[in-house]
Amino acid sequence: MTAQWVNELNNFSGTERYYRITPDTVITDGAKFVADKGGAYWLMTAIASYLPEFTQKETFIVANLTVSRSESSCTALLKLDDGNDNILAEQFIEYTDFELDVIKLYACYTGDMWVIMLPREY
């Protein structure tokens, strides 16, 4: 399934503003666009909920969400890895109405906070 807004993701490179979603995590313009258009603030906070355990251990994390659809259900798997396919965390999501089949986001630690962003914003 392809959401109508997916082509607009290519318009993001860099960010002009950060939006705080937890005390130690912000999202970029592109990640906020996904959260707004895709109804995916739950995804941003799910990713953010894992990040404190990696502070001082990792500075770069790749978050991949893969949605599985069937006639009776729509589930997802969120995987966080270190960028070298070493899985750091996984979460099964029993239900989602997220429109995209897959999305990849990056989380980078700045020394003060985590920043969740689209790959094109890195």
- Residue 80 counted as domain residue: yes
User: Model's pTM, two decimal places?
Assistant: 0.93
- Residue 105 counted as domain residue: yes
Q: What is the pLDDT of residue 1?
A: 44
If you average pLDDT over residues 75-94, what whole number do you get?
Answer: 97
Structure tokens at 119: 């790959």
- Residue 4 counted as domain residue: no
Cα 70 from Cα 9, distance rounded (Å)? 26
Q: For the chain, what is the radius of gyration of the CA atoms?
A: 14
- Helix/strand/coil for 2: coil
- Residue 53 counted as domain residue: yes
Cα 99 from Cα 2, distance rounded (Å)? 7
At residue 2 the predicted structure's pLDDT band, cuts being 50, 70 and 90, is low
Cα 93 from Cα 40, distance rounded (Å)? 13
If you average pLDDT over residues 83-110, what whole number do you get?
Answer: 96
Residue 103 CB-density burial (10 A; 0-12 exposed, 13-18 middle, 19+ buried): buried
Structure tokens at 86: 């070493």
- Residue 12 counted as domain residue: no
Domain count along the chain:
1
Structure tokens at 80: 């966080």
- Encode pLDDT of 49-74 as tens digits: 999 999 999 999 999 999 999 999 99
- Residue 13 counted as domain residue: no
Q: Range of 58's domain?
A: 19-121
